[in-house]
Structures are given as structure tokens and as C-alpha cells.
Amino acid sequence: MRSAILLALGVLGACTTARPMVHGETPGHTCNAAGAENFIGQSGNSETGAAIMRATHAAVLRWAPPGYMLTMDYRADRVTVRLDEARKILSINCG
């Protein structure tokens, strides 16, 4: 019985065609912040965030308000938007 279950699991595992997720990468998304400077000075809200994600081709958006601690890990699919106290965009960068 046990060997039949293991065989079934092996067959199911061999049938999968999904590409495994790699930490820091969403297939088909690599952030490119070139040209995103036109968002600097705008209000940091959901509409602007969605536009930034489209413009940079990022899969992940990370807001960075003043005093907010960020992880140091690098993600090729992430855009980081730094904000001032009034939630105005100060800078946009990938990673």
C-alpha cells in the first residue's frame, strides 16, 4: 500500500509543468525604473502605485514612508517607492 502511494505521488510530481518560484523573481517581471521619475512629487496612493507598477513592469510594489524599516534582500521584480511625511513620492528604484 505504501509503495503504491509513493508511486502515485511520484507520477503526479512528474506531470507538473509549473516553473518553481525562485526567491526574488516572478517569471516575466523584471523591474526597470528608467522613466519612472515623472512620478516623483506625486501623491503616493493606490492609483499612482498601480501606474508605477505598469511603468516599471514590477510584480511587487513596496511603499517606504519616513522611518519605515526595509529588508535588505534584493528582488528583481520589486519596485520601492520612498515617500515623505506628506506621502509625496521622493524616489523610485528597483530591487
Reported as a single tens digit per residue, the pLDDT across 66-90 is 999 999 888 999 999 999 999 999 9
Tell me if 78 sits within 8 A of 62, measured CB to CB. Answer: yes
Domain boundaries, the chain: 2-94
Tell the residue number behind the cell numbers 508511486, with chain if given.
Answer: 7
* pLDDT value at residue 13: 47
Reported as a single tens digit per residue, the pLDDT across 9-53 is 454 444 444 444 555 577 778 999 998 999 999 999 999 999 999
CATH topology of domain 2-94: Trypsin Inhibitor V; Chain A (3.30.10)
Tell me if 15 sits within 8 A of 62, measured CB to CB. Answer: no
State the pairing for strand pair 60-64/78-83: parallel
Q: Would the pTM of this model clear 0.75, i.e. be above it?
A: no
